[in-house]
A = this chain, B = another copy of it.
Amino acid sequence: MKARNILYAQSGGVTPVINASAAGVIEAARRHGERVGRVLAARDGIIGALTEDLVDTAQFSSQDLVALAQTPGGIFGSCRYKLKGLEDSRREYERLLEVFRAHDIGIFLYNGGNDSADTALKVSRMSREMGMSVRCIAVPKTIDNDLEGTDNSPGFGSVAKYVAVSTLEASLDVKSMASTSTKVFVLEVMGRHAGWIAAAGGLVRRRESDPPHIILFPEIPFQEQRFLDAVDDAVDRHGYCSIVVSEGLRDAEGNFLSDAGTSDAFGHRQLGGVAPTVAALVKDRLGYKYHWAVSDYLQRSARHIASQTDVDQAFAVGEAAVDLALDGHSGVLAGIVREADEPYRWSVQPVPLEQVANHEKKMPPEFISSDGYAITEPCRRYLQPLIAGQAYPDYGPDGLPAYLEKVLTSVDKKLPAFEL
């Protein structure tokens, strides 16, 4: 029987380690050379799959794959393009299967979050209906850690490590100067709907006097006076106040604080930026000198401070996706199962996509302290292993990480063009 090909695509926001999953897929496929043909990758995620813009990963040398696993961003490109239900997006699903047929795709690996799990599930069902037997596996990825069916999502651990290390470092800076200078520091982090990333800052706090003194979670409605009292209390007791705020912080009416109508000199409405809003409130009401930082994409791309656990898991879910498909699975997620907290043990197991697609994993209420400003011990036990270990990239003599740069050539198209 002729070995059929794999199609791999990245989806949604990229992470510091999504390319490690790509490397895991390619390496696993090469180990199974007798059962797998080529590994093709779609450019710009599902868009490339639809437009038949595919790259043959045979052009990656073994050395390239080592560098790929160390490179942030998405090497093939990713996109935000959501396929809807089978009714609304029938034309796209049919096109996908047409592309699969044209390129002899027997395995479709979709590396993304909730939406991607849904797409993988639908493609799996539709291919079965059409008698095509394409095995579809979702490879988990999202910095937001909100994916169901997996104990944690590759990408999150490294972002968590970045946020924790940054919180620690910036707080040491503020603490040094607080007697005569900045007393309040605000770090804005991602996580619009769930506080997982903000919670990671809490890993720094071992003692009550440690930073961050306040975490503002998207799950906890912002109460201005209570917050100001907490800031004042921290400055009184510790000399300074270090704050981590989620971009998704909302007021009691459910409005994002970052959408609070900020406007600049040009009269433009500024989106984003809850940190400056919170900092200005502190300055205005309490008079403390403040500084704020918005790490934005820096946190999402900081491969230089990646967690070893995260890199290992990202690679492993890529490898496992190939193995699961070869074992006959389809319509499953290569999910991470936590087997023990300490010492931390985990494995990768197939999880039916019905349990994953279109769900959103929230922070459990018991992970947030009763005052709403800190993490609890169960939360610490959950987060701790995910940031463990340093997975430094190789550096060039120029002092910069030797991230993979590669001009990728596309395979010849076999089908007529497709209008998106």
Binding site for B on A (CB under 8 A): 10, 13-14, 16, 44, 47, 71-75, 77-81, 161, 164-166, 168-170, 172-177, 179-182, 185, 187, 203-204, 257, 260-266, 268-270, 272-273, 275-277, 280-281, 283-284, 291-298, 300-305, 307, 384, 387-390, 392, 395, 397-401, 403
Contacts and interface: CB of A to CB of B under 8 A. Distances in A.
B272 A273 contact: no
7 contacts: A79-B181, A161-B399, A165-B304, A170-B296, A268-B283, A291-B297, A389-B399
For the complex formed by this chain, how many copies does it contain in all? Answer: 2
A47 B179 contact: yes
Nearest to A188: B294
A294 B297 contact: no
A196 B190 CA distance: 29
A396 to B, nearest CB: 9
A386 to B, nearest CB: 8
Contact of A280 (B168, B175, B268, B384): B268
A400 B173 contact: no
B295 A44 contact: no
Contacts of A277: 264-266
A56 B81 CA distance: 62
A379 to B, nearest CB: 14
A171 to B, nearest CB: 8
Given A270-B276, A303-B169, A176 B293 contact: no
Given A293-B294, A390-B392, 18 more contacts: A47-B179, A73-B175, A73-B176, A79-B181, A169-B303, A169-B304, A204-B400, A262-B264, A263-B263, A265-B277, A268-B281, A268-B284, A269-B280, A294-B294, A295-B295, A295-B298, A388-B399, A390-B395
Contacts of A280: 264, 266, 268-270
Nearest to A74: B176
Contacts of A174: 297
A168 B265 contact: no
A272 B276 contact: yes
Contacts of A75: 176
Q: Which of A307, A387, A401, A403 has the most CB of B within 10 A?
A: A401
Q: Which of A72, A265, A384, A390 has the most CB of B within 10 A?
A: A265
A312 to B, nearest CB: 13
